[in-house]
């Protein structure tokens, strides 16, 4: 893109210039169509425009006699002027005087005839395009060209007779008849054929494509109902307008005409609804009135076919569209829409064209005039498509700005959350340190503190008695062992049961030797215990320490066996001694020691049993489940 186009001011000026050129081109094309037909060729001896004629209503397939009751008329001539209720054929007789015989081939050119025509020159038929009998070929908007062999012309007067087939509701009639060089007549015919037939079909194809584009946008975004209506109007108008000029439809003519009329009427009413929705006037009563008008008018035209009724229908819809256009234009400028000038341009092209066509439909313009709305409608719909594209472009730019703002806000929030997370993490670390200190103090209070309290009580008895130094020594040794075990548990990996048992063996072996006990170690390789958190391992350590202390104090055993096995769904820990068994006071299930161990086992979700095996001694069995603490029990 050139650098100067990056400046919004230059870009706006360029677009204004482009739209100005487009407007000038459209106005020039409209002026040309308004003054069409451009059938004013050089007045030479071999080009004649015949407008003086005689007319006779006759159903004969051959020219009537000269002495019949011919009526003098002037072309262009409508049947409604002289033969209002006529259905069938109307003959026209014209005179083409020649001062010399043509050397080249000549032709008869009919710019406008409704519905179809057959041309005779000096009593010889030049043929017919389509059918002259019901169902008629609808050549009402198609120019006709008939080549005349040079041998048919004669010096002086030449009788040109035109048989026109039509009815009372088809705006039947005949425009001026041109006679002259086949080359010039062919140029005139081609010019009108492109304007009235090929150009209309091409414009309607473009109109339908733009209508489909707008309808698809409406389907994707139902809030854009205004553009859904203009898209619907474009599709219906394109279909109805093209169908209206098809000479030989594949359906019966009455059905075809009704469908064509229905498409055109509903297209015009959809345009009225577009104006209301574009003006953001959702008047339910007005929309229902428009729908009711469409249904009633369709029934009326079907039951009472009348060309005047059709024209009045178009006039009523046109006036309704004018009201909607005024509301929409007022809304566009009041709300300062960026595309208000584009909307005004498209509408001001289509509305005068529609006024021209309504006047033509009401027989207020020459019969051979060309309909302008087939060319003004695509201009308006094209402007609406540009408006939709502009709306979506602005929406995308606004969305891009919102996304940029959102990304910036997200980055800002991420930074704030990162700072908050670091602050919370620091607080959590401080809380964890405090909790760990509190736990250590609590463990020392529960374990070591209890032993020290007992030792102090022994050293300071309430009643005078001898101090049992051996007992005090044992109590202090137990306190020291428990303190060492608590310190070991702080650095133990979670779930490491084998490590816990090894630490317990290392700390208790000196006491076993001092007491004359031997330790049999029968521990298998064990998997990690899922429930073995730091707290759970400490509870397990307390249970085993309590059981070993009871053996040292009360069992009178010679050997202690520590066995650990993996049973799949649980780990089994067994502490067996060969002492006195249940006769020992410490092993009573209701004793304080066993209750404490059972309580601690319940805290970690383990099972505990106190068993007297048949071979004697006593066993403490611990079952550690191999499921996560959060996993529900089966």
Domain range summary for the chain, segments of one domain joined by + = 19-37+211-400, 51-175, 443-491, 494-625
**What's the CA angle centered on 23, arms 366 and 331, to 5 degrees?**
95
* Residue indicated by tokens 């039947």: 172
In sequence order, the 6+-apart residues with CB closer than 8 A to the CB of 485 are 503, 504, 507, 541, 545
Nearest Cα residue to 494 out of 520, 456, 467, 532: 532
pTM, entire model:
0.61
- Count helices and strands in the chain by DSSP H and E runs: 15, 18
Q: C-alpha angle with apex 184: 179 to 188, nearest 5 degrees?
A: 85
- Assess if CATH 1.10.10.60 describes domain 494-625: no
For helices 253-278 and 284-303, the axis angle rounded to 10 degrees is: 160
DSSP secondary structure string, 306-334?
A: -HHHHHHHHHHHHHHHHHHHHHHHHHHHH
Computed over every residue of the chain, the mean pLDDT equals 81
Residues of the chain with pLDDT under 70: 1-45, 298, 301-306, 433, 435-491, 582-592, 628-634
CA distance to 206, 374, 382, per residue, from 370 (Å): 20, 10, 22
Interatomic CA distance for residues 404 and 190, integer angstroms: 58
DSSP character for 601?
Answer: H
pLDDT at 96: 93
Burial class from Cβ neighbours inside 10 Å (0-12, 13-18, 19+) for residue 42 reads: exposed
Q: Identify the pLDDT of residue 585.
A: 43
Specify the pLDDT at position 155: 92
What is the per-residue pLDDT across 52-78, written as a single tens digit (0 to 9) for each? 999 999 999 999 988 888 999 999 999
What's the pLDDT at 584? 46
**Res 119: pLDDT:** 96
CATH of 51-175 among 1.10.1660.10, 2.40.50.200, 2.60.120.260, 3.40.190.10: 2.60.120.260
Q: What phi, psi does 191 have (nearest 5°)?
A: -60, -50
Instruction: Write out pLDDT tens, residues 421-475.
Output: 888 888 888 887 676 666 666 665 555 555 565 555 556 665 566 655 666 666 6
Residues 313 and 297: beta-carbon distance below 8 Å:
yes
């Amino acid at each position: 893109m050139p650098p100067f186009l990056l400046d919004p001011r230059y870009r706006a000026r360029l677009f204004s210039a482009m739209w100005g050129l487009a407007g000038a081109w459209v106005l020039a094309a409209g002026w040309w169509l308004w003054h069409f037909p451009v059938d004013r060729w050089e007045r030479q001896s071999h080009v004649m425009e015949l407008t003086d004629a005689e007319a006779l209503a006759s159903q004969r397939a051959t020219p009537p006699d000269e002495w019949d009751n011919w009526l003098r008329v002037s072309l262009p001539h409508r049947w409604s002027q002289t033969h209002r209720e006529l259905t069938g054929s109307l003959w026209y007789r014209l005179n083409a005087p020649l001062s010399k015989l043509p050397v080249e081939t000549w032709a008869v050119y009919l710019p406008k005839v409704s519905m179809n025509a057959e041309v005779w020159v000096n009593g010889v038929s030049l043929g017919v395009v389509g059918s002259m009998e019901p169902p008629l070929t609808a050549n009402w908007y198609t120019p006709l060209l008939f080549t005349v062999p040079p041998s048919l012309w004669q010096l002086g007067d030449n009788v040109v007779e035109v048989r026109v087939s039509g009815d009372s509701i088809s705006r039947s009639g005949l425009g001026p008849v041109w006679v002259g060089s086949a080359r010039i007549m062919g140029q005139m015919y081609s010019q009108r054929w492109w304007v009235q037939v090929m150009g209309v079909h091409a414009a309607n194809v473009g109109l339908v494509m733009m209508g489909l584009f707008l309808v698809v946008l409406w389907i994707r975004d139902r809030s854009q109902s205004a553009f859904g209506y203009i898209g619907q109007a474009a599709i219906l108008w394109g279909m109805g307008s093209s169908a209206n000029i098809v000479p030989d439809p594949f359906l019966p003519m009455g059905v075809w005409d009704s469908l064509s009329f229905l498409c055109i009427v509903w297209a015009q009413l959809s345009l009225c609804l577009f104006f209301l929705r574009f003006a953001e006037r959702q008047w339910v009563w007005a929309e229902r009135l428009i729908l009711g008008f469409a249904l009633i008018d369709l029934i009326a035209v079907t039951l009472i076919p009348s060309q005047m009724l059709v024209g009045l229908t178009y006039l009523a819809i046109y006036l309704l569209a004018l009201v909607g256009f005024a509301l929409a234009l007022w809304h566009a400028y009041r709300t300062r829409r960026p595309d208000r000038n584009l909307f005004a341009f498209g509408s001001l092209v289509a509305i005068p064209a529609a006024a021209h066509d309504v006047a033509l439909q009401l027989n207020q313009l020459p019969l051979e005039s060309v309909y302008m709305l087939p060319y003004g409608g695509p201009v308006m719909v094209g402007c609406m498509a540009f408006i939709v594209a502009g709306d979506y472009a602005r929406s995308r730019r606004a969305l891009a700005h919102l996304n940029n703002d959102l990304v910036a806000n997200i980055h800002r929030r991420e930074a704030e959350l990162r700072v908050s997370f670091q602050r919370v993490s620091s607080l959590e670390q401080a809380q964890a340190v405090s909790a760990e200190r509190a736990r250590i103090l609590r463990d020392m209070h529960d374990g070591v503190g209890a032993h020290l309290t007992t030792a102090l009580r022994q050293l300071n008895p309430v009643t005078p008695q001898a101090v049992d130094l051996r007992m005090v020594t044992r109590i202090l040794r137990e306190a020291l062992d428990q303190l060492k075990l608590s310190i070991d548990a702080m650095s133990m990996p979670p779930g490491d049961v084998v490590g816990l048992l090894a630490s317990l063996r290392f700390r208790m072996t000196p006491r076993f030797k001092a007491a004359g006990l031997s330790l049999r170690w029968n521990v298998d390789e064990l998997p990690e215990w899922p429930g073995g958190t730091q707290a759970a391992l400490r509870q397990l350590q307390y249970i085993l320490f309590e059981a070993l202390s009871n053996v040292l104090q009360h069992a009178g055993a010679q050997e202690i066996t520590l066995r650990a096995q993996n049973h799949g769904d649980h780990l089994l820990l067994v502490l067996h001694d060969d002492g006195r068994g249940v006769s020992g006071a410490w092993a009573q299930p209701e004793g304080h020691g066993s209750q404490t161990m059972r309580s601690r086992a319940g805290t970690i979700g383990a099972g505990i049993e106190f068993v007297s095996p048949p071979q004697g001694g006593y066993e403490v069995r611990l079952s550690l489940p191999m499921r996560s603490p959060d996993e529900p029990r089966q």
